[in-house]
Amino acid sequence: MESMLNKLKSTVTKVTADVTSAVMGNPVTREFEVGRHIASGGPGLCWRIYNGTKKSTKQEVAVFVFDKKMIDKHQKFDKDQIIDSLKKGVQQLTRLRHPRLLTVQHPLEESRDCLAFCTEPVFASLSNVLGQWDNLPSPVPNDIKEYKLYDVETKYGLLQISEGLSFLHSGVKMVHGNLCPENIILNKSGAWKIMGFDFSISSNNPSDAEPKYTCKEWEPNLPPLCLPNPEYLAPEYILSVSCDSASDMYSLGVVMHAVFNEGKPVFQVNKHDIFKSFSRQLDQLSSMSPAVLNKIPEEVREHVKMLLSVTPNVRPDADQMTKIPFFDDVGAVTLQYFDSLFQRDNLQKSQFYKGLPKVLPKLPKRVVVYRILPALTSEFVNPDMVPFVLPNVLLIAEECTKDEYVRLILPDLTPVFKQQEPVQASNMILLIFLQKMDLLLTKTPAEDIKNSVLPMVYRALEAPSVQIQELCLNIIPTFANLIDYPSMKNSLIPRIKSACLQTSSLAVRVNSLVCLGKILEYLDKWFVIDEILPFLQQIPSREPAVLMGILGIYKCTFSHKKLGIPKEHLATKSLPHLVSLSIDNNLNLNQFNSFMMVIRDMLSRMEAEHKTKLEQLHVMQEEQRSINISNPGSQSEDIKSPPSSGNQIDDIFGSSGVNGKENGTAASTSQPNRMSLTLEEKQRLAKEQEQAAKLRNQQPLAPQTIKPAATTNAQTKDLTSSLLNNMTSLSSMSLANTPRPAPVQGTTMAAFPSTTPMVGSMGAPVSNGFNQTMGFQTGAMGMGMRPPGPGLYGGMATTTSTPNFGALAQNHGLAGQSNKAPDMSALDSLFTPNKPKVTLNQMGPNPTPGASTPWLSQFGPPQNAQTPMQGVPVGMGGVPSGFGMQANPFFSPQNFSQPAAAPSMNPSGIKHSASVNNDLKDLFG
């Protein structure tokens, strides 16, 4: 790698040194930057050709440099002869102006070391292209080494030389005198230009008379640079020292032979014995063998043979050569027309440009890109011609690589993107660009797309012309994948929506919807849901085409794998909108069926998704219930809260409003191993048991075995009845001393008023459901009756959807604690048999107006359809019948729409366990 870098460095250094040594001090360098050595040309290929730029305008040029060191081996006289000859050729070229002659940009400048002048940009000389690489840089540039002339280039190049000779012979009465490949230059566009007028001869007669030319006798002793190339000279020039315009035509014939024979002339000349060579050549020309011209195309072979005739009068003149059928090639004629465009008016140009797309595919890419394209882009300065030129430019762009497009085409297209005047031309330009938008977005760099191409698309969407808007909307989906997402989201979509809402054209509105439907796949799901679907409800018109377009967008969004519409949006927005549109009177039967098909699909998916969700939740509930039934003792622990400072113990029987000592007493009653009771506590407990017995005497206990479900640490059977009495008493005190909490949101207490006195074996705390002992925790109620069968749905209220009343009651209990003994008098009259019936609504505080919950409104029965509670509802483990079901929102609402029939009761008012199980199975499945 290092050796390669060193080699490259030495090469660059050598080239730089050559340029510096050759041009240093020449006045040309004051105005022009001299670049790389690219070619050679002129007599004997003595001129080195460099690319360069003008310092003031950055205009590209070619710098011709003749290094005087090349002639150091000659004597001073010969040196002067060579310098004078070269100066004459450049000066003559500078005075002559014609499209077929090399254009001089800066006249000849001489310095001590070199001669230099500047011309139009040059590629190489014809001699270089044909394989003569003298005086070229080393290594030879690949673009010259690999250059191959196409037929159209050869034909048109020879035609150009013929036209140049016609100008010299007819226009300025001049004989070139040294027409050969060294003096034919191919400029950067590929045009062939004549130079090397070192040996030109002008006519001695006035312009209106027959021209006469005087040529010099051949001097073999002069240096080669002081003599024309003998291999391309007519025989009469050497043998009879005479010449005229026909002599140049002979040279043209030899040039044509060389072009088709890899740069070889017709005859090789012995420069040391020139006269003998020409004598022999003359004999060969008189009886020319057909093999000499076998590589020349047949359609021009006879004309070449005539040009090489020994008799000058037989040779066609330059004007006649331009008219031969060989040059009537469509490509050559096209190129010729481009060179004469400056003479045409706009009508002629427009007709030519209209037919050009048929010709361009027949021409080689190099010819199109470097010859035709510059001529086309030069017309962009004429706004009226842009609509005719632009299709051809874009056609050429399709065949170019991205690099060629950015380098050769895009700089000229950028101003056209922004052209808005005249209006008619601007509209046509928009249409043309829109039709080739995929090409522009594919090859244009992202920054130029953002700054030039997309603004033009936005302008087309906002154009006053309906046709342009329609075309733009039709074309946008074809290149939507090439637009970056921020531009589409923030600029393109808002303009499409605006065009749809603001237009008065039905076609534009429908095309807007179709366009949106086609580009949905390039948008993200939530952008479509938040921006596109709400926009559909803003469309005012109800034409069938518009309605079907709206339906199409809904359908695409609904069915697309990446998009989709959530079931919430389906239920609340999409389906209501579609249903309202489906009954529009403008729709026919097929269109209505299309609406209903989409609506049914949406309903089916929404039903399936929501049903699946509910089934999953039901499975979760069943699993939770199984856990609670299999481990009933764990819930008693759930009721407890961790001990806090001050030796507070979580009371599993509910807050009673007593002080800490009394709480401790209750705890020690249920768990004797924790602490011993004081004498005062024992006295109070005895009093409470006595009062509880008195209450039992007033209301006989139902013939049912009572099991304390929440007592996990019971020590003996003797404590069972006393603990039950104690719990009843504590709960009664809690009811008397603790403020009633507001109904917990989500309950349906009001739907089940009590119809009997809330007395019996359970006591008052059983019925209201707000005490700590009532926490609705299955198997851990601490009181109440529980059927023995495992199939009882007693654990239903333990799901996460059921409110935790125990926590609420506990908080109130803590707030209501005091050191006074509980006053039991308020309960005496409440639990007498003659007390009027009290409903749960009357027992609890009045709910705040407007505080109804979704559960109440969805599942609660009408207020006048209250179900009476028959006795104490101990059949569900202490929970009022149906309460846990109503507290769960995941059951079907039809179970709650009608009041349930009163369950069958035994004479004692308590359900038998078997009937309870049957009822629950009927109700819950």
Mean pLDDT, residues 470-488 = 86
- Residue 909's pLDDT band (boundaries 50, 70, 90)? very low
pLDDT in the model for residue 387: 92
For residue 411, pLDDT beyond 80 = yes
pLDDT in the model for residue 466: 87
**Nearest residue to 234 (alpha-carbon basis) of 222, 225, 226, 246:** 246
Sign of dihedral through CA atoms 767, 771, 773, 777? Answer: positive
Q: Which of 154-168, 300-314, 637-651 shows the lowest per-residue confidence on average (mean pLDDT)? A: 637-651
d(CA 463, CA 503): 11
Under DSSP, is residue 690 helix (H, G, I), strand (E, B) or coil?
helix
**What is Dmax (Cα atoms) for the chain?**
164
For residue 819, pLDDT beyond 80 = no
Mean pLDDT, residues 41-69 = 93
Question: What DSSP character marks residue 271?
Answer: G
For residue 915, pLDDT beyond 90 = no
pLDDT in the model for residue 633: 55
d(CA 142, CA 614): 76
pLDDT tens digits, 500-558: 988 888 889 999 999 998 888 888 888 888 888 898 888 888 899 999 999 999 998 88
- Token pair of 418, please? 């922004």
Q: Which of 357-361, 404-408, 637-641 shows the lowest per-residue confidence on average (mean pLDDT)? A: 637-641
For residue 1, pLDDT beyond 50 = no
Q: Long-range contacts for 222-226 (Cβ within 8 Å, ≥24 apart)? A: 222/78, 222/81, 223/71, 223/74, 223/78, 223/81, 223/82, 224/44, 224/271, 225/43, 225/44, 225/46, 225/71, 225/82, 225/85, 225/86, 226/78, 226/81, 226/82, 226/85
pLDDT tens digits, 734-792: 444 444 444 444 433 333 344 444 444 444 344 443 444 443 344 433 334 444 444 43
Sign of dihedral through CA atoms 320, 322, 326, 330? Answer: negative
d(CA 175, CA 211): 10
pLDDT tens digits, 6-28: 554 444 444 444 555 667 788 99
pLDDT in the model for residue 840: 40
pLDDT in the model for residue 150: 92
Who has greater pLDDT, 797 or 289?
289
Let me know: does 274 contact 227? Beta carbons within 8 Å: no
The overall average pLDDT reported for the chain is 74
pLDDT in the model for residue 642: 46
pLDDT in the model for residue 3: 52
Let me know: does 132 contact 39? Beta carbons within 8 Å: no
Distance of alpha carbon 375 from its chain centroid, rounded? 36
For residue 844, pLDDT beyond 70 = no
- Token pair of 129, please? 């292209």
pLDDT in the model for residue 697: 67
For residue 176, pLDDT beyond 90 = yes
**Nearest residue to 332 (alpha-carbon basis) of 190, 227, 497:** 190
d(CA 295, CA 29): 45
pLDDT in the model for residue 308: 92
Q: What distances in angstroms separate CA 706 from CA 133, 475, 795, one per listed residue?
A: 121, 83, 18
Mean pLDDT, residues 362-375 = 90
d(CA 658, CA 911): 35
Quickly list DSSP for 765-826: HHHHS-SGGG---TT--SSS---S-TT-GGGGGGSTTS--HHHHHHHHHHHT--SSPP--HH
pLDDT in the model for residue 479: 81
pLDDT tens digits, 350-366: 999 999 999 999 899 98
**Nearest residue to 444 (alpha-carbon basis) of 491, 400, 475, 504:** 400
d(CA 39, CA 19): 13
Phi, psi dihedral angles at 149 (to 5 degrees): -75, 130
Mean pLDDT, residues 417-441 = 85
d(CA 664, CA 294): 130
For residue 650, pLDDT beyond 70 = no
Mean pLDDT, residues 709-715 = 40
- Alpha-carbon dihedral angle through residues 467, 472, 477, 481, given to the nearest 10 degrees: 170
pLDDT tens digits, 177-193: 999 999 999 999 889 99
For residue 609, pLDDT beyond 70 = yes
- Token pair of 552, please? 């199409």
Let me know: does 466 contact 425? Beta carbons within 8 Å: no
pLDDT in the model for residue 732: 45
Instruction: Find tokens 């479509």 and name the residue.
Output: 528
- Residue 699's pLDDT band (boundaries 50, 70, 90)? low
Who has greater pLDDT, 918 or 224?
224
**Nearest residue to 274 (alpha-carbon basis) of 216, 217, 220, 215:** 220
Who has greater pLDDT, 730 or 356?
356
Question: Would strands 104-110 and 114-119 be described as parallel, antiparallel, or unpaired?
Answer: antiparallel
pLDDT in the model for residue 719: 42
d(CA 279, CA 407): 55
Distance of alpha carbon 709 from its chain centroid, rounded? 67
- Residue 570's pLDDT band (boundaries 50, 70, 90)? confident
For residue 914, pLDDT beyond 60 = no
Question: Would strands 60-67 and 114-119 be described as parallel, antiparallel, or unpaired?
Answer: antiparallel
**Nearest residue to 738 (alpha-carbon basis) of 768, 759, 708:** 768
Report, in angstroms and rounded to the nearest whole number, the Rg of the chain calculated over CA atoms.
Answer: 55
How crowded is the C-beta side of 349, counted as CA atoms within 13 Å? 22
Q: What distances in angstroms separate CA 55 from CA 111, 255, 513, one per listed residue?
A: 20, 37, 56
Sign of dihedral through CA atoms 125, 130, 136, 139? Answer: positive
d(CA 375, CA 252): 28
d(CA 651, CA 842): 27
pLDDT in the model for residue 860: 40
For residue 815, pLDDT beyond 50 = no
